[in-house]
Amino acid sequence: MSTQSIAFSAWQYQGRLWRKARLWFSPLVLLLIWFQVCRTGFFPEQILVSPGVVLETFRELWVSGELQEHLGKSLYRLALGFVLGVVLGITFGVGMGLSKTVERLFSPFFNAIRQVPSIAFIPMFILIFGVEETFKIVIVLKAAFFPVALAAYDAVKGIPQRFVEVAKVYRLPTRHLVSKLVLPSTVPPILTGMRLSLTRAWIVLVAAELLAADSGLGQMMEMGRQMFRIDVVMVGVILTGVVGFVLDRGCQWIERHLVRWNT
């Protein structure tokens, strides 16, 4: 191996190390600031606890199985509501993009409702569905539906009209038009919409569990607040952020690989 090849490999290795170091830089700085603020004693323990206390609380909740139970409930609601929202969003967005009639009938209502934050629907959904599982799944479905539907609609509208006209000239069946032309052409924007909708759905779900739930991360944090257990609340906050980060990075990985395969 030549000297230039060795130098280039070393440069690539250093680049990978630097990228990994940047990933951990912000959390480590925040952890250091948190630790130093706790050492000053400026805030009482009822308001701010040390990282060590939070870590010990995390261990206790994990050993008891309480943390896994709450996290499992939240992820189940997220998965079910998200899948339903994505399927309905793609179907509606593609249908509205392909059909002028559907667009004229539903576009004004769709554009009006999607402007309303999902959290604003929580009181209405509680009145309609109660505080059981259906309410949480529906609120996740709503949060996932609109970004995916909008992404699918815009993607279909972005397909060159001449492609659609050629398909019509050859009298391509609708199912083949969708499977052979529309869906392959709209994969990247739909994946972006799914990534956006997943993070929104996770945030909305935790907020819904804070307000009305008997299980889930949000409910765990709310019970910690009621019992003045800020350590439990902090465990919930940190875990919520970590789960959201992992979900977003997972979507990025899937998006890169699927788009690469599609091209």
Task: Say which CATH number the domain at 161 has.
Answer: 1.10.3720.10
The structural domain count of the chain equals 1
**Per the domain annotation, does 9 fall within a domain?**
no
**Per the domain annotation, does 12 fall within a domain?**
no
Task: Give me the helix-helix angle, 183-211 and 230-262, nearest 10°.
Answer: 170
The closest of 123, 113, 122 to 145, measured between CA atoms, is 113
**Per the domain annotation, does 134 fall within a domain?**
yes
**Per the domain annotation, does 197 fall within a domain?**
yes
Q: What is the pTM of this model?
A: 0.80
**Per the domain annotation, does 79 fall within a domain?**
yes
**Per the domain annotation, does 55 fall within a domain?**
yes
**Per the domain annotation, does 42 fall within a domain?**
no
Q: Is the pLDDT of residue 74 over 90?
A: yes
**Per the domain annotation, does 148 fall within a domain?**
yes
Q: What is the mean predicted confidence (pLDDT) over 195-217? A: 89
With beta carbons less than 8 A apart as the criterion, state whether 212 and 135 touch: yes
User: Which CA distances in Å does 127 have to 54, 120, 130, 134?
Assistant: 36, 13, 6, 12
Per cent of the chain over pLDDT 70 is 79
Q: Is the pLDDT of residue 108 over 80?
A: yes
Q: Is the pLDDT of residue 47 over 80?
A: no
Q: What is the mean predicted confidence (pLDDT) over 197-223? A: 90
Chain-wide mean pLDDT for the chain? 81
Question: Which domain range does residue 60 map to?
Answer: 50-262
Question: The tokens 């529309």 sit on which residue?
Answer: 182
Residue 6 or residue 106, greater confidence: 106
The closest of 137, 131, 151, 16 to 91, measured between CA atoms, is 151
